[in-house]
Structure 1
Amino acid sequence: MSTHHTSRGRQNGATARHLNQHDLAARWRMSVRTLERWRSQRQGPPFLRLGGRIAYRLEDIEAFEQAQRQETSAA
Structure 2
Amino acid sequence: MTDKPIETLRAGLPDPHLTPEDIAAMFSVPIETVYRWRKQRTGPPGFRVGRHVRYDPAAVRVWVQHQEATDSAA
TM-score by length of structure 1 reads 0.70
* Aligned counterparts, 1:1-75, within 5 A: 4-5=9-10, 7=15, 17-69=16-68, 70-71=71-72
Structure label with greater radius of gyration: 1
> Greater share of strand residues, 1 or 2?
1
Gaps of at least 5 residues in structure 1 are 8-16
Identical positions, percent: 33
- Give aligned pairs, total: 61
TM superposition outliers: structure 1 runs of 4+ over 4 Å: 3-6
TM-score by length of structure 2 reads 0.71
> Greater share of helix residues, 1 or 2?
2
Gaps of at least 5 residues in structure 2 are 1-7
**Residue identity in the other structure for 1:58:** P
